[in-house]
Amino acid sequence: MEYDLGTYPAADAWTTIAITLSLTGSQSGASTSISAYVAGVILSTRTVPDGFFEDSPTNTFLLGGSWQTGTLSTSFFGHMYDVKISNTAISSDGLDVSASKVGEGTCGCTTCYNESTDDSQCLSSCDLGEYSATIGGDCLACDASCTNGCITNTHCIPNVDPLCSKTLITGFDVADCLGCTTGAFRGTTTGSLCSCTANSTYDADSHSCVCNANFLATTSNECVSCKNYLKAGEFNTAVTFSSSYLYLTLTFNVEIITTNFSGCSFIKSTTLSTLGLNPTCTWLTGNREVRVTLGSGASIDTGSTFTLDDDSVLTSGTCTGDRIDLIGVVAYNTVRPAPTAVIQMPAEVSLGCA
């Protein structure tokens, strides 16, 4: 059953609306009466004879909208301060809000609206599309992007914490914010507001904290340093000796940005120490191949691991926070020679007698 008041409360004003349900009689003589009060004055009463209201777990109770054939067709456009449901009889006393409890701006009224469950709440007389910059200040227009009201010009959610999640709000105060928006966190101090995580900036369009350039969001709600790290298959792990065994060749399937390092500094120290005294590194055309010339006293050999600095060896493309270990294995490109000593001499040797 849908009950329409038949009229509408005054726009841009706080109004108390109460609906009472009265059940009388029993069995065949039962009847249900529904009365509506607006600002403490009874507006209408509708009685359904020979009908008894019965609650059912399959029924839908919708407040502030119209439900038509399983679809929400219209919604209440405005603010609801308080909703109460009572299972005992109530009277018209106290069903209105005194003018002294409504004032210009936030808590600009002379007497705050007190309830047993509220410490000191106040009803602002600002319109839905307005806000007050100071306590008791003038009502100012919200930004056009705030279609459902605002707390400040561009703060479009109904809570004093601008970084509160829109889906975790139960009221206006800090304590009524049950969680922060994406990319934000709250400190352990009671009453602290949500803050954007390090290396991120608030984005009003998405109402979230977005990682800054060169940083990437992780599943733990952090923004970590983000670079164009190599991905699997972009570094050929076979590091080969030249035929002269004087240098090693490393190859890549992508172009490497060589401005991130100098000389052979892209090689990890554990490998660099095996390349001899003062090795040199020369990148060939296209920066997909590098020649590492060994210095005197080099000890690297086939089967040795060749490790690169994954934070220095970068390419262009999509920024990613995932790194892979850049570890190659040294091998010979040709069959390693195995020299043997050969002494050539006649099968028989005769010496003359003295």
Q: Is residue 354 a part of any domain in this protein?
A: no
Domain match, 289 and 258 both: yes
- Give yes or no: residues 2 and 76 share one domain: yes
Q: How far apart are CA 305 and CA 269, in angstroms?
A: 12
Q: Based on the fold, state whether residues 276 and 303 are members of the same structural domain.
A: yes
Instruction: Give the pLDDT of residue 88.
Output: 72
Please tell me whether residues 259 and 312 are part of one structural domain. yes
220 shares its domain with 297: no
pLDDT for res 113 = 39
Tell me, what's the pLDDT at 27? 64
Residue 151 CB coordination number (10 Å) = 20
Q: What is the CATH number of the domain that holds 288?
A: 2.60.40
Asked whether residue 351 is domain-assigned, the answer is no
Quick one: 254 and 199 in the same domain? Answer: no
The residue among 97, 120, 135 that closes a domain is 97
In a domain, 309, yes or no: yes
209 is in which domain, residue-wise? 174-226
The predicted pLDDT at position 327 comes to 96
- Angle at the Cα of 325 from the Cα atoms of 323 and 331, rounded to 5 degrees: 150
Instruction: Provide the 8-state DSSP code for 39.
Output: T
> How confident is the model at residue 100, as a pLDDT?
44
How many distinct structural domains can be found in the chain? 4
What single-letter amino acid sits at 126? Answer: C
- The per-residue pLDDT for 114 is 40
108-124 per-position pLDDT tens digit: 344 443 433 333 445 66
Tell me if the pTM is above 0.85.
no
Which backbone phi and psi does 10 adopt, to 5 degrees?
-60, 140
- d(C-alpha 3, C-alpha 138), whole Å: 37
Alpha-carbon gap, residue 324 to 241, rounded angstroms: 24
Same domain, 90 and 103: no
Q: 157, 166 in Cβ contact below 8 A?
A: yes
Could you count the other beta carbons within 10 Å of the beta carbon of residue 270? 10
- Residue 119: strand, helix, or coil: strand
- Coil, strand or helix: which one is 226? coil
pLDDT, residue 105, reads 36
Would residue 178 count as lying in a domain?
A: yes
Q: Is residue 59 part of a domain?
A: yes
Q: Which of 112, 129, 156 is the last residue of a domain?
A: 156
Whether residues 281 and 316 fall in one domain: yes
167 domain residue, yes or no: no
pLDDT for 153: 76
| Other beta carbons within 10 Å of 203 | 14
Residues 285 and 328 placed together within one structural domain of the fold? yes
Local structure of residue 327 (DSSP, 8 states)? E
Query: Residue 291: its pLDDT value, please?
Result: 97
Residues 6 and 76 in one domain: yes
Is the same domain home to 93 and 32? yes
Chain centroid to CA 177: how far? Answer: 17
Residue 168 lies in a domain: no
Structure-token match 């390693």, residue found: 336
| 280 found inside a domain | yes
Q: What is the mean pLDDT of each run of 10 residues along the chain (354 residues)?
A: 61 75 73 79 78 68 73 70 73 54 40 40 69 70 80 76 85 84 86 90 86 82 83 94 93 93 95 96 94 96 95 84 88 77 78 72
The CA–CA distances, whole Å, from 123 to 30, 80, 127 equal 41, 10, 11
Same-domain check for residues 24 and 87: yes
Q: What are phi and psi of 187, to 5 degrees?
A: -70, 175
Kindly report the length of the chain: 354
The residues facing 200 across adjacent strands are 211
Report how far apart, in Å, the C-alpha atoms of 211 and of each of 46, 127, 316 are: 58, 35, 19
